Structure 1
């Protein structure tokens, strides 16, 4: 498949799940659980992002990262798979991309180098080097809360014409920043990296969402994104804002893994240090927001059934 066809296929996906990495009590990766999670996302029609911050990618060894990608790609799922590229060492990131180029993936998530805080020239060089190494479309990731720097508009302007530069995951939480990207970098598709902001950003022309919440509620989050993109924002408040607030009351993915374990989606809520489950207070509201999302989704499902019956009746 050529690059243009790859991008066309990726543009059909409005929801990407930043997949958690399940672990056993001893801290080893639970691959059986990983397979079950990946299949659950594919059933919901969600694209899968591996080894991002939600997947604790930087806390895994290189061998573990490779094993995660190999495990999921061997499933031959009917949804695209995107692999995160993050760190500080440019040569190491290029080597990682070179390895992943040989696997059945569909794209990359390219993060700004952590801690270094480079400027426009340094970031342009960083991303150009990674784009050149990749043989699949790439989503640039603007996440200043983790990288320490906002990607300048001028950097995106410098790289937007590269054939591998497909999209941007915008997670600054700042509407003005997104609008500046939209205005000055029209060749780049923009996805929200903030679950709660999806209704606001849909009107600003985002293509979809890269989501943490979809780990827990794959089908409900898919519906949430559909409604946001359709402009039906009045149906989304305050239930989704409350849910996302609960998930991010401590560093992600602590609350996400805890709730997934409560629901039986994970066998264990184990995280890799420095993240730890005990960070979460016992009064965490997770069970409450889970019930709220379930009621919300069931009401949407029932409404869809009624509307479908009405249409059939008219025929």
Structure 2
């Protein structure tokens, strides 16, 4: 099986207007991202404020993205939870709607061991029969998929990739020594490490900041001889985006570009006015530098 995508995928925000999902903004965003080189759309993940969305909203968001995409790039949908049966049900709905692949986070709060992770992921993959991207983000789940477990799961016919948000290059090298990377894709889940990740054999990135600067991220991937130079202005912006947890800062920049109002759902709260002003200044500097 070929990799789902290579290059830059984007973990899409969910734009809100008056606390309702702004589906027209989603349509505009899909076209903006594809027109600017995005290789895959990742829907209903962490950046989308997945836990604050009800099932009906998640399904309608996915349907809106699929309809607007019109088959141009692969669509991956986050359907993983810490409830195996609910993850299966969400994944089956995504399959019916037309998703190309699903992304499964490690179970959180209701934690398990490595045998439990294998059983959980394989039960979903067996039931759904869609390509699966495993999502390892221990900073949010306090759980990790060990390299031996990744190697075991990579033998499953539907488990085809890992989103690696560990920022641990020893972990990456260990996995690369155990899996067939011509069949099993490795995607960074950290915007700030992509030059090294690509140079050390990673296949792509599932990005947060690419919601607003998709072309800049794709350029880092495609122009291998000048990656560090292309990344310099991105790195400055990422420093400004670290003012608060994802997706609070990126949604401010997305609102500046007209993708919904600057709103997040509780328990998240927006940046204060000073933080907004500082982030806006950094974003304007990025745009001036890149367009110079």
Correspondence for 2:261: 268
CA displacement, residues 13-65 of structure 1 (integer Å, 9 cap, x when unaligned): 3110100000112x110111111111111212311000001011111001111
RCO higher in 1 or 2 (8 Å CA, sep ≥ 6)?
2
Unpaired runs of at least 5, structure 1: 300-315
Conserved 8 A contact 1:254-1:271: yes
Aligned residues: 288
Q: CA deviation at 1:284?
A: 5.8
Matching of residues 122-133 of structure 1 within 5 Å: 122-133=116-127
Counterpart of 2:83? 89
Q: Measure the CA separation in 2 of the matches of 1:247 and 1:144.
A: 20
Aligned partners of 1:280 and 1:186: how far apart in 2?
49
The worse-fitting range, judged by mean Cα deviation, of 126-135 and 91-100 is 126-135
What does residue 28 of structure 1 align with?
A: 20
Which digits, 9 at most, give the CA deviation of each residue in 1:137-187, with x for residues without a partner? 111111001111111112112211111111111101111111111112234
Q: Distance in 1 between matches of 2:120 and 2:44?
A: 20
Instruction: Report the 3-state secondary structure (helix = DSSP H, G, I; strand = E; otherwise coil) of the residue aligned with 1:109.
Output: strand
> Which residue in the other structure is 1:288 paired with?
281
CA distance in 1, matches of 2:92, 2:228: 45
- SS of the equivalent of 2:10 reads strand
Change (3 A) 1:135 1:200: same
Query: Does structure 1 residue 239 correspond to structure 2 residue 233?
Result: yes
| Residue in structure 2 matched with residue 80 of structure 1 by the alignment | 74
Cα 1:279/1:175, change in 2 over 3 Å: farther
Pick closer, same or farther for the CA change 1:155–1:280 going to 2, 3 Å.
farther
In the alignment, the residues of structure 2 paired with residue 185 and residue 280 of structure 1 have an alpha-carbon distance, to the nearest angstrom, of 47
TM-score (norm 2): 0.92
String of CA shifts for 1:279-313, please: whole Å, max 9, x gaps.
675366322332333234325xxxxxxxxxxxxxx
Q: Of the two, which has the highest radius of gyration?
A: 1
SS at match of 1:274: coil
Structure 1 residue 278: Cα displacement: 3.8
Q: TM-score, normalised by structure 1?
A: 0.86
Partner Cα distance (1:101, 1:214) in 2: 25
Q: Which runs of 5+ in 2 are unaligned?
A: none
Alpha-carbon distance in 2 for matches of 1:283, 1:92? 37
| Matches for 1:1-315 after TM superposition, within 5 Å | 4=1, 7-8=2-3, 10-11=4-5, 13-25=6-18, 27-46=19-38, 47-75=40-68, 76-187=70-181, 188-227=184-223, 230-236=224-230, 238-262=232-256, 264-278=257-271, 281-282=274-275, 285-299=278-292
